[in-house]
Structures are given as C-alpha cells and as structure tokens.
Structure 1
Amino acid sequence: MISEAGAQDRWTEDPSEPEIPLLGGDVTEGVVRVGTTVRRPMGRNAAFIHALLRHLEAVGFEGAPRYLGVDSAGREVLTFVEGEVAGRPHPAWIADEARLASIGRLLRGYDDAAATFVAPEGIELELPADPPGLPPAPTYADEVIGHLDVTPENVVFRDATAYALIDFDLVRPATRVDELYNAMLWWAPLNEPRDVGPGLRGLDAPKRCRILADAYGMSDRDRGRLVEVAVLRTRRSWHLMKYRAETDGGGWRRMWDEGVGEIIKRREAWLERNGAEIEAALKAP
C-alpha cells in the first residue's frame, strides 16, 4: 500500500542507517527511527493522514511531523521531531503548569490549522461501525479533524514548551470540546485518584482544566459543554475499548486485559462526582 501520490511517494533508502525501535506507544507496534526519519506501519487511513500532514505543512503549522513517503518495506516515512517526550514512568516535569499551558496553545494552533483541511477527492476517512449497545455521542456539530490522542507520549517538548503533536492514527471529525476533553483527560488528569500515575497524582485537576482552557482560548459556550461531553465520551469509551479488544486484539486486547475497562468505569463515576467543581473552575471569573 502507498499513499494517494503513488510511485512519487517512494522513499530513497540509505541502507547504512540502523533502525532504532521507538517504544512507549499502547497500540502501534513496529515504530522505528532511521536517521532523521521515523518509519511506521501504515493503517487503513494512511492516505487521509498523509493528506492531513501535507495540509498542516502547507498552512505553516510547524507542530507536526512531515510526511516524506513510503519506504521499501511499505512503511510510512515521517520526519523525526527532536525534543523531549514524557515516557513511562512519567518524569516530574509532567506536572509543570507552564508546560500545561503550552499544550493548550499548541492544540489551539493545530485545531485552527486542521479546521481548513479538506480531504482530496477520492480519499475518505474509514471509521469503524458503532458496535451494538454503544451509548449516544454528544450531539454537537464537528468543527475540526481532531487529533484526539494528546497523551504525554504524543507531545514533544522543546525548551520546556510543547512543540509538536505526534501519532495521528486516531484523527477524525470532532468538536473543539472533544479535543480539550482529551487533553484534560491526560494532563489534568480526569481520573479516579487511584488510577493516576505518580507524576500527576494529588494535583488540582479542576485548576489544571482551567489552565488548559485559558491557554487554548476555550469559548464560554464550550466551557459549559465540557463536563457533559466528558461523561458521554467516557461512557462510549468503555464500549469502544471492549469492542476493539475483541475485534482488533493486539495492544487493544493487552490494555483491556490489564484493566482499562475498570479504569474507565471509575473515571465515569469520578466525573459525575466532580463535574460541578470542574465546571465551576472553568467558568470562574
């Protein structure tokens, strides 16, 4: 499989460069660094993602890898983004509020750039059908092609400032509230305290939500929608994770076997208990 540009996408190999495995992801396996490039297996939406990355480059958004082509092994070739990533276990700096605010600014820049993306003719995003029994989604109209995977492992920092987003495998139409909920989920974080890693444990999650919202420039309308969207997305997440574990296996199955389903259920209960406090922090003068 190659992208929509066909043979023009073929990447010229340098056989002298070694492959260095890049670890830390939950699902995608086989990601390696080769010189100044990253090689990744291509998924079913590779052509769409490549077109999105080309668009981001064309509009001048610097905070994403560049798509370079396809190598002889059929892997996509991306630029390697130099910088600092919060691997596991997470470093102490993951709690830094200045870094947190910079994530909000980076995400706003990405969303503004992605909002003007139109997929080329003949390239469509293939999304899986909803599994039976999936709870309803929020009813708000999509606004951007969301990244929706702003985990600590997918944000590259330079000079203690969020510089780039990586791993675009989960992109899809979304609202800006969806994007901010996803970022808050990982960086506030929005989870039952027992499920929070040491680097983020014991922090003021509502305050951190406010920091992200202010840095992003979240609208008053969206601040009023955040908790509702968080609860609905969490309910859907349990069903979707279970379905992907059963149908796709691999990393999805591993995460499910390790208890992600129970974590999501505890998150839903935590959001329902603490939603009013989060909304108050978001709306406070």
Structure 2
Amino acid sequence: MNNGAESPINGAGLSDRELARVGDTVRRPAGPWSPTVQRLLRDLRALGFDLAPEPLGLDAAGREVLGYVEGRDQGWPFLPEILAVEGAERLGRLASRLRSALSACPCPPDARWQFAHGAPGPGEVLQHGDLGPWNLLWGDGPEIVGVLDWDFAGPGDPWYDTGHLAWFTVPLMDDERAHARGFPEPPDRGARLDAFAAGAGISAVELVRIAVRAQEEYERRVRTRGSAAEGGPWRTFLELGFHDKARADRDWTIRHFSQDT
C-alpha cells in the first residue's frame, strides 16, 4: 500500500518515462496536449467507460495527475488471460466497447493532440492511438480493469485501435516476432482471429483488412512522426526500425490471411 510518499513506477517501455506513484495517484510528464487528453478521459468516464484512468489535472510541478489503477500488466510470457482463446475474444470485446465510447465523445474545435489539432474530420473519430497489451491492466480474474497511456490519442480511423490490438494479440506476425512479443509457443492464429473478431462483432475477413490498414498506418506514423522536429518517442521507434517491422508484419498477414485487401 502506498502511503503518499513518491515512488517510481517501472514499466516495460523503451525508456524511463518518469512515472511516479503518489498515494492513490500517478504523476507523469505533461505536454501541450495533456489538457485535451484529460478532457477526453473525463468524457469517457462520464459515458460509462470506467477503464479510463481518472483525470486529476496537474500538480505543482506541472505533471499530469491521474488516478492510480491497481492491476496486473501483460507480463512475459503473456498472462494466461491473453494466451487463452477466450482472452482473444475478450480483447475483441474491449476494442468494440472502446470504439463505441470514443465515437460518442465530443471534441472541441480547439482540441490539441500530440500530432493533430481540432476535432475529427469526415470518416474519423477519436482513437486511443496505442491500444496494445502493454497499455492494459488485468484484475485478479480474467477481466481488463484499465486502459492506460492516452498520450497518442487523437482523431483518426475509427477501426485503428481494433486493428492495432488484433495485430499484437492474434498475433498477425511470424512466429519469431510473436515469441518476442510474448507468445511462448506458436499460437493458434486461426482460432484467435475468429475469437477476436467475434468479440469485436465483425467477421474474421474484415478484421484482417482492418489489421492490415492499422499496420500500414502505423508504418506511416513512424516514418512521418519519427522524422518530425518534435518526434519524441516516435524518433526512437524510427531508429529501432519499427516501420520496417510493421511492413514485414503486413506482408506476412497478407500472405497468410488476407483474401481481398
């Protein structure tokens, strides 16, 4: 139990993100986009999406303050709750629930996101932008209790989050990559694809198309954002060749699963 003293939170990120727990709150570096993200979190919670952390403004040091969410992270190898076929179905349901909530969120025209300004355009809605097992928490049972790290939120394809989560949890990549990402043994991708699609309320064929679009979009984001002056973590992603990995995963997905992309 945290007594209010500040203690660092060590995660599985690529670099020290300067996260700290203080009592029942988490403190993290803020950016110009943080007020908009805090508003999004308030709106999501007001709509009943209680997996979003509670936004609590900024502290005296200018850090973003969020309610602390108790839970288990993805682990390595992945938690049984992810590895089970039932876990894939549950992840699909999460993606569907999140997409519905984000589609209903209002967005002011002066919204400032990390890599965008304003409200979603035609055919767009708000998205989490980094929906992967690394940003989820599980409770004592199989249920997901938290969706974390909303810094990449902003307008975009309504199905991007769904495709991104399926990419890494079906997973739509070769066995070597799947092992590195958390699968100790080659997974039954066909069963997991069907289960995730059922949870998301779409066909497996459509899920593959959505995932391929997410892989393409992620590659584009790494290239463009990583090359920008304010690239931040995306510059690290570019240097590590994540765009190349996304393209290789897309090619693998098309070869093995796509019927009409």
Short-chain TM bin: 0.7 to 0.9
- Map 1:156-175; keep pairs closer than 5 Å: 156-158=137-139, 159-175=141-157
Superposed CA RMSD? 3.0
Residue among 64, 68, 71 paired with 2:56: 68
2:196 pairs with 1:208: no
Counterpart CA distance in 2 for 1:63 and 1:217 is 20
Counterpart CA distance in 2 for 1:19 and 1:123 is 32
Aligned to 2:150, what secondary structure does the other structure show?
coil
**Alpha carbons 1:22, 1:33 under 8 Å: kept:** no
Counterpart CA distance in 2 for 1:114 and 1:53 is 10
- Map 1:115-194; keep pairs closer than 5 Å: 115-120=103-108, 122-125=110-113, 127=115, 141-142=123-124, 144-158=125-139, 159-194=141-176
Aligned to 2:104, what secondary structure does the other structure show?
coil
Counterpart CA distance in 2 for 1:209 and 1:126 is 32
Amino acid at match of 1:107: A
**Given the superposition, is the C-alpha separation of residues 162 and 79 from structure 1 closer, same or farther in structure 2, using an over 3 Å criterion?**
same
**Alpha carbons 1:53, 1:64 under 8 Å: kept:** yes
TM-score by length of 2: 0.82
Residue among 8, 16, 23 paired with 1:35: 23
**Given the superposition, is the C-alpha separation of residues 87 and 244 from structure 1 closer, same or farther in structure 2, using an over 3 Å criterion?**
farther
Name the counterpart of 2:221.
240
Aligned to 2:223, what secondary structure does the other structure show?
helix
Name the counterpart of 1:262.
244
Counterpart CA distance in 2 for 1:128 and 1:205 is 35
Name the counterpart of 1:22.
10
Q: Which runs of 5+ in 1 are unaligned?
A: 1-14, 130-139, 280-285
Counterpart CA distance in 1 for 2:249 and 2:49 is 33
**Structure 1 residue 27 displacement after superposition:** 6.4
Counterpart CA distance in 1 for 2:215 and 2:199 is 24
Residue among 68, 75, 78 paired with 1:80: 68
Deviation string 1:161-195 (CA, Å, 9 cap, x unpaired) is: 22221111122233443222111011111112221
Aligned to 1:264, what secondary structure does the other structure show?
helix
Deviation string 1:40-75 (CA, Å, 9 cap, x unpaired) is: 111232122111111112122211101012111111
Q: Which runs of 5+ in 2 are unaligned?
A: none
2:100 pairs with 1:112: yes
Deviation string 1:215-237 (CA, Å, 9 cap, x unpaired) is: 1223x5xx554434433442343
**Structure 1 residue 28 displacement after superposition:** 7.3
**Alpha carbons 2:5, 2:22 under 8 Å: kept:** yes
**Given the superposition, is the C-alpha separation of residues 44 and 87 from structure 1 closer, same or farther in structure 2, using an over 3 Å criterion?**
farther
**Alpha carbons 1:39, 1:77 under 8 Å: kept:** yes
**Structure 1 residue 258 displacement after superposition:** 3.3
- Over the matched positions of the two proteins, sequence identity in percent amounts to 26
Counterpart CA distance in 2 for 1:202 and 1:256 is 27
TM-score by length of 1: 0.76
**Alpha carbons 1:24, 1:88 under 8 Å: kept:** no
- Map 1:4-15; keep pairs closer than 5 Å: none
Counterpart CA distance in 1 for 2:44 and 2:16 is 22
Which structure's relative contact order is higher, taking Cα pairs within 8 Å and 6+ residues apart? 1
Of structures 1 and 2, the larger Rg is shown by: 1
Amino acid at match of 1:256: L
